Amino acid sequence: MFRGLSVQAGGTAGATAASLMYRLDAASDGTFYVHLLGSGAAGPSTVLVSVDGGPDEAVSMAAGAMGWSSTSASFTLSEGIHDLVLKPQQGGIQLDKLALSKSSKPPIEASLPKASDIRVNGISLPDFAPGKYSYTVQLPVGTQRVPIVTAASAGAVQVTQSPTLFGTAVVHVTDLDDPYLATDYTVALSGLPTYGAIPERLLPYPIVGAAASDFKSPYSPANAYDNNMSTRLAANGEQWATFDLGQAKPVKYVLISFYNGDQDQYSFDLETSVDNADWTKVYSGYSSRATANLELFQIPLTEARYIKSNGHGNSKDAWNNIVEIVIAGQSPVASVQLDVPDSLSVGQSAAGVLSAVHDDGSQVPLTQGVGFVSSNPGVAAVDSTGTIRAVGAGSTVITATYGLFQDARTLAVVPPAPSRLAAPTNLTAANVTQTTVSLSWQGSAGAAGYGIYKDGTSVTGATYSVTGSVYSATIGGLTAGTLYSFTVKAIDADGGYSPDSNAVAVTTAAAQGGGDNGNNGNNGNNGNNGSDGDNGNNGNNGNNGNNGGDGGNGNNGENGNNGDNGSTAGGLKRRSHSSGSAAPAVGTDTASEPAAGTTTTKISADALDELMSKATADQNGVKTATVQVPEVPGAKAYDLTFPASFVTSMTKKENIAIATPLATVVLPGNMLASASVAASSSVTLTVQSADKNAIGDAALRTQIGDRPLLDIRLQVDGQAVQFNNPLAAVTISVPYTPSEQERKDPEHLIVWYIDGNGQAAKVPSGKYNPATGRVTFTTTHFSLYAISAEYKTFADIDAYGWAKQPIEVLASKGIINGISKDMFAPANTITKADFLLLLVRTLGLSAEVDSNFADVGKSDYYYEEVGIAKKLGISDGVGSNRFNPNEAISRQDMMVLSARALQLASKTAAAKGSTADLQPFADRAQVASYAVDSAIFMVKEGLMTGDGNGLNPQGYATRAETAVLMYKIYNKE
């Protein structure tokens, strides 16, 4: 198409420029389209494109993250040399790539590499988001060293540090395979400039208010402490201004920036007061006339709430002009000391601890406001808590920063004892007592032994047994009512260790207490000699047992012995009621009493933070903290309460997995991000075995039979809430033992969702995994969920043996429908709308649909799925906001849409393909240029195999072919 392309003038790709000229060498005549990859400024943005000085064509760029232009420019070119000119029409437009093709559709946008975290001196930017590219960081007054900016990404990261204290650092992220795919982030370091030497221990205090005897509007007193060097307080003549610290504090320093202070010398006094009535003069003098920056004036150390500046004008006139004032004391911290090991082996972890050293030599470990940085993350990485993880052999410097204080230590990382063992998997806990817990895990091939770790420390003397590939051990010596975290490592014959297994959190049963009032059980006699009843209640048949009232709520107290275990340890509290006539629990902090047969667990923020810090990120960078809720005999429901802050963030990178005996529910970190839920609230998740009589549909009850029916619901601060967030899918897995018939064809096990009105719908994502023995599905809302089996077939698919099983499975799961109850029409073509509907359902994609194509109406059965595809960028239509939903879809367009959706859903292989992957297909040249990359991707992933000779890219896809593709996508891990 083109023999060459070169930049002639105006700048380089990836930069903002007034204009760019490219010289093209067209290999043939024809009409060509220009597509631009970049981002627009705020609001509508346009780039004018022209060829050889001809008329301009406008190309529209969307604001925000990088993406292909929503429109293209077309030109008819003859063979030979041409000049192409791009002229951005608004400031802030950034262009990264230029694509020329014979298609009006842009190429598939490769996922631009993004940063997953940016830190300044080891502390993550509080407003960081991968799609936000510019940041400003306010440095504390007195900062002497240029902060260190670091970043994390799945791509390659290069950081150009700021050359000056108040400069800009640039984070450059590139794709590992394609260095031309890159994203830049800027971190501007801002602050108040100072003059001369500033004490290392300067401790600025917040100013909460100000007043003045007079000022010239708009130069008010508030301007003097707004962190803005372009505003000021201005007053003419003998005038004063007071600044309020909110409470009395030890004041030692006052820093003032005077307007034109490098030209004019100011005369002023400083006074201090505790009550704003009695004043003490602590300074009288002049500014240096050497700087307009903050100048330090030291005063005698004094307790003061108010600081008054009495202005006497300056060397030029009678005006008093204060640009900024900072009032400070001296930090009680004289220095900081970082403690880290001298060396670690690859794969080991250790805690780095920064301690404050006071004047008297005492040390206090610092747990908040500390940032940690590794000079060589490829040797050892350090997270925000100071946990150091040895990655590769070598040496690195671990630096810790606390405000203006900093300390550093060198860490050597040595190779580990060689081991290629995989980590043990599926670590679970059961049979929890006050002092013991039973652990089981799936073993690692080739392991010579296993090490068990409690809270990161090896458990000495632990023994284990094995049945098949499942290992078991009972750990003793535990403390009642205490939270523990367990992991397991495999050990090879040479003493090398595998990575950690998944962590499992366990709380031991609380210590038993004496009976309530201790002597009134057994029909008014001394309930079993009046001694300690079961779990602190009063004996069998314990009338009059509880606080002098009728034991067991007026019943005969039988089984009334499972009251509140009532203690809290390690941030975790559990209580259980395992009988229908159980006595009510006391001493808990839940909003209301749980129903009989309910086990309630509460986990603190500290406990969850600890679990999250020990969790290992998966291939998509997602960390999952697993809370194991032990089984309680007779329990029909499990409640777990935890801080809302763990599910109200905007990140999907940290999940909480609540593993109950009935089901495991994985909650994403952004689950309640769109709801008005305060981070300080508490959230309670309930997993309950439901009564099938709650289902009004008799046929559905029969179909479910004795299979699990679960009620999953949510409370915030004790009040029921309706969770429904299309941007945060929850994963639920239910243990299930198939019948003999179901084991023969487990793909026909399905999941039903029953809403509050009793209406039932199939959950397309529901599937049974024989390896785990669980039925797993995703959902964006809570209600009743049931497992069932269904065997759906059609009368016209027997001749399509290659597609029969996929059609039957997808139809049984509610993903695909026939054209009637008994007919599927496998040879019919499929429309674009129907294809997108199937693709979105198969992958379980969701999004908030706030707009759609102009030719897709809200009454159309495919409105939601097409809207999701548009919102997520899977389809951008055919232009002019149109989609042509009823048009038959070609096989190459089917590949393009599928590739985009799969990449969005992160269901891609690590290896990338090449044009060599299309070599076996005789019709490969018929694949349109815009679809080549997609065809390569789909063939490489094994999703498109053709008919043995060709791909038939320009032919229309049939319903049978589509079903086979969806089946492959559905089962792709």
Say if CB 487 and CB 502 are below 8 A apart. Answer: yes
Whole-prediction pTM value? 0.46
pLDDT value of residue 62: 78
Confidence band for 301, pLDDT divided at 50, 70 and 90: very high
CA distances to 23, 27, 82, 158, 924 from 3, in Å: 11, 6, 12, 33, 22
The whole-number average pLDDT for the span 734-754 is 91
Mean pLDDT, the chain, rounded, equals 81
Confidence band for 89, pLDDT divided at 50, 70 and 90: confident
pLDDT value of residue 511: 65
Is pLDDT of 621 > 90?
A: no
What SS3 state is found at 893?
Answer: helix
Confidence band for 64, pLDDT divided at 50, 70 and 90: low
DSSP 671: T
The whole-number average pLDDT for the span 936-959 is 86
pLDDT value of residue 564: 33
Rounded to an integer, what distance in angstroms lies between the CA atom of residue 188 and that of residue 201? Answer: 25
Q: Tell me the helices (H) and strands (E) count for the chain, helix number first.
A: 9, 57
The residues, any chain, with a CB within 8 Å of residue 702's CB and separated by 6 or more, are none
Element (H, E) at 45: strand 45-51
The whole-number average pLDDT for the span 361-376 is 83
List, in sequence order, every beta strand (DSSP E) within 205-351. Answer: 209-212, 233-236, 239-258, 266-273, 280-286, 295-314, 319-330, 333-339, 343-345, 349-351
Backbone angles phi, psi at 776, to 5 degrees: -120, 140
The whole-number average pLDDT for the span 97-111 is 66
Confidence band for 5, pLDDT divided at 50, 70 and 90: very low
Is pLDDT of 355 > 50?
A: yes
Confidence band for 807, pLDDT divided at 50, 70 and 90: very high
453-476 pLDDT, tens digit per residue, is 887 777 766 778 888 888 999 998
pLDDT value of residue 867: 93
CA distances to 523, 718, 857, 874 from 854, in Å: 77, 44, 7, 17
Q: Does the N-terminal peptide bond of residue 594 adopt cis geometry, omega within 30 degrees of 0?
A: no
777-803 pLDDT, tens digit per residue, is 999 888 899 999 999 999 999 988 889
% residues pLDDT > 70 (the chain): 85
Say if CB 388 and CB 380 are below 8 A apart. Answer: yes
Return the higher-pLDDT residue of 573 and 822: 822
pLDDT value of residue 419: 60
pLDDT value of residue 587: 24
Least confident of 575-579, 692-696, 951-955: 575-579
Give the strand pairing for 465-467 and 749-754. unpaired
Q: What single-letter amino acid sits at 608?
A: L
Say if CB 608 and CB 642 are below 8 A apart. Answer: yes
DSSP 534: G
The whole-number average pLDDT for the span 26-55 is 82
The residues, any chain, with a CB within 8 Å of residue 468's CB and separated by 6 or more, are none
Is pLDDT of 14 > 90?
A: no
pLDDT value of residue 162: 92
Q: How many residues does the chain have?
A: 973
Rounded to an integer, what distance in angstroms lies between the CA atom of residue 56 and that of residue 42? Answer: 22
Confidence band for 107, pLDDT divided at 50, 70 and 90: low
Least confident of 79-93, 303-317, 727-741: 79-93
509 closest CA partner among 427, 593, 631: 631
170-225 pLDDT, tens digit per residue, is 999 887 766 667 888 999 999 899 998 888 778 889 999 999 999 998 999 999 99
pLDDT value of residue 285: 93
Say if CB 655 and CB 624 are below 8 A apart. Answer: yes
120-151 pLDDT, tens digit per residue, is 888 888 788 888 889 998 888 888 788 889 88
The whole-number average pLDDT for the span 754-769 is 87
What SS3 state is found at 542?
Answer: coil
